[in-house]
Structure 1
Amino acid sequence: MSAWRRSSIQEMEKMISLDYQAREITGGKIVDYGFEESMKGWREAFTYVKSHAVEWKVEKVAVIPLREEEKMAVLWATMLVDGEQLSNANLFFDTFKKQGDGWKLIRNYTEAGVPVRKMEALAFSADYS
């Protein structure tokens, strides 16, 4: 999250696996993409943030152990433009795998354009009935 908040493309590139697979849902439209498309998107976003009065707001919701040496981070993010928070955010389900001495982002599922008020009220329930 710190690489994201700093808009560091170098750190982000080191964190994402070359075998990365992702799916994003925006307005009901499904888009699947990999490492190269992801890096292109991050470059564009980070360039925008650095050239405008914009900062990231990134909030961790949960970290869920999935398998041995594999975890899922649930988080949401939006932008602050001239100090004002946008009304929509993206909800991320990021799967990380231990590779060597670090963790790599290997998979992602994103719901884009979710109202921030829904994200701010987000809580995981232990009730599975």
Structure 2
Amino acid sequence: MDNQSFRTALDAFLQAWENSSLTELETFISADYQAREVRDGDIEAFGYEESVEGWRQGFAYVKGQQAEWDIREVSVIHLKEDEMMAILFATIVLDEGPMDTGNMFFNTFKKREEGWKLVRSYIETGVSVGGTDPS
């Protein structure tokens, strides 16, 4: 298992996210990406196009509010020889401080010829910020 190449790819993915750079982030999303998102008890399934649009809207909001992302790496799990899961918590920090809730992402990356690609996500929205502290 090439843990170093995954770490490098994950760090670049996180940097693109923190910079709200859709151009950079898009390079990590697989064309066959599939996701499930739970929002207010409703489950929505979506793919690549909807994902890119969601990132576009999120990045536009953060830039428009002159806010910042607070992304916490909760865990990285080796799933298969060519698959890794990154569990991430993300919230937005506005002038008055961090939002009360954020989203928990269970992102599965698969090693492809062109590098590590985000192939699946399970996302819980509206997670309490306090609920992500491991203490």
TM-score (norm 2): 0.87
Alignment-derived partner of residue 28 in structure 1: 41
Q: Percent identity?
A: 48
1:91-116: CA deviations, max 9, x gaps? 11000001114100000000100110
C-alpha separation between the residues in 2 aligned to 1:102 and 1:18? 13
1:61-86: CA deviations, max 9, x gaps? 11100011100000100000115000
Alignment-derived partner of residue 68 in structure 2: 55
Alignment-derived partner of residue 122 in structure 1: 134
Please list every run of 5 or more consecutive structure 2 residues that lacks an aligned counterpart in the other structure: 1-13
Offset of residue 53 of structure 1: 2.0
Offset of residue 27 of structure 1: 1.1
Pick one of 75, 79, 91 that aligns with 1:78. 91
Alignment-derived partner of residue 126 in structure 1: none
Q: How does 1:79-98 map to 2 (within 5 A)?
A: 79-98=92-111
Pick one of 107, 115, 126 that aligns with 2:120. 107
C-alpha separation between the residues in 2 aligned to 1:12 and 1:122? 28
Find runs of 4+ consecutive structure 1 residues off by over 4 angstroms.
Answer: none
Tell me which protein shows more helix as a share of its residues: 2
Please list every run of 5 or more consecutive structure 1 residues that lacks an aligned counterpart in the other structure: 124-129
